[in-house]
């Protein structure tokens, strides 16, 4: 007799396992939809409110659709009343100057701290960490006194100098990225007769492009949206106001004009949205490369 080879019987997936996977999948997609809803809800309400007249806004609820979606008068009034032309000019000057200066100073200092071992190297790194732990709001009295003694209050260049202060996150991004660049590249350039500054300019700085993009995104978004410091030190709102404080023109003791505020918010979002759509490839590649340590 020939023996019959028995094959193991494949059992199906248990009902409990299927229920567990269904619940986990439902929670995952529900949380994603909920987060997207929370992000888009303020934008949707801004678009709805910006299309309403003042009487329509006061007589209807927030989510009530406007009668005329093509009501661009609010955008025109918001741009003129808040002097947004000057605000965009000032914000552009501040962004360019601050991003340029912080990038140059941050990469130079990171190069020195990463490549050169000298007494006080660890102390300097520790001071940057200490500066990050100190709450900025608690030091405003002393900073305001110093800025006043130097005559930098109500000055756009004074605000730029103050905004170029300690940026610990960018510093650590640069240091981490420089430490992943082989020292042999520096040595090869020095053997060819390059100075330390030439090594920084021709070898280190080009290789820091992903880290620089990451730092510029973080710094640029922070400066563009910064309100407290700009409102405190740029007291002449008509001449020195930035985009973040331009919407303050629609608030007052008689109430706030939220339809104009929402129109102004959409106007301030447009430059950032346009830049993101143009440079999204460079932004994604820069953030991804700057966040990975090899």
Contact 124, 113 (CB under 8 A): yes
CA separation for the pair 80, 77 (Å, rounded): 5
Contact 293, 180 (CB under 8 A): yes
Q: Record the pTM.
A: 0.76
Mean pLDDT computed over 82-101: 88
**Which is nearest to 84 in space by CA: 270, 268, 269?**
268
Contact 234, 240 (CB under 8 A): yes
Within the chain, how many helices (H) and strands (E) appear? 16, 0
Determine the pLDDT at residue 34: 93
The secondary structure of residue 181, as a DSSP letter, is S
**Which is nearest to 141 in space by CA: 133, 129, 149, 132?**
149
Name the band, by pLDDT with cuts 50, 70 and 90, for residue 1. very low
CA separation for the pair 194, 3 (Å, rounded): 82
Determine the pLDDT at residue 35: 92
Determine the pLDDT at residue 30: 92
User: For a pLDDT cut of 90, what percent of the chain falls above it?
Assistant: 4
């Amino acid at each position: 007799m020939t023996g019959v080879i028995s094959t193991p019987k494949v059992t199906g997936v248990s009902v409990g396992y299927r229920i567990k996977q269904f619940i986990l999948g439902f929670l995952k997609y529900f949380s994603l939809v909920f987060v997207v809803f929370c992000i888009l809800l303020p934008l949707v309400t801004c678009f709805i409110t910006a299309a309403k007249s003042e009487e329509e806004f006061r007589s209807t609820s927030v989510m009530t659709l406007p009668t005329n979606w093509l009501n661009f008068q609010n955008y025109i009034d918001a741009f003129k009343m808040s002097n947004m032309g000057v605000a965009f000019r000032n914000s552009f000057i501040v962004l360019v100057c601050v991003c340029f200066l912080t990038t140059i100073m941050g990469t130079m200092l990171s190069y020195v701290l990463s490549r050169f071992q000298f007494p006080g190297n660890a102390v300097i790194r520790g001071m940057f960490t200490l500066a990050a732990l100190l709450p900025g709001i608690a030091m405003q009295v002393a900073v305001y006194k110093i800025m006043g003694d130097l005559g930098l209050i109500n000055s756009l260049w004074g605000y730029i100098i103050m905004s170029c202060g300690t940026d610990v996150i960018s510093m650590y991004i640069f240091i981490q990225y420089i430490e992943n660049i082989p020292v042999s590249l520096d040595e090869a350039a020095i053997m060819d007769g390059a100075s330390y500054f030439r090594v920084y300019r021709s070898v280190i700085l080009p290789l820091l492009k992903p880290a620089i993009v990451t730092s510029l995104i973080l710094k640029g978004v922070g400066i563009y949206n910064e309100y407290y410091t700009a409102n405190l030190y740029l007291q002449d709102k008509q001449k020195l106001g930035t985009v973040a404080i331009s919407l303050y023109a629609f608030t007052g003791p008689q109430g706030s004009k939220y339809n104009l505020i929402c129109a102004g918010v959409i106007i301030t979002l447009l430059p950032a949205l346009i830049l993101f759509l143009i440079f999204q490839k460079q932004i994604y590649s820069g953030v991804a490369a700057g966040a990975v340590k090899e």
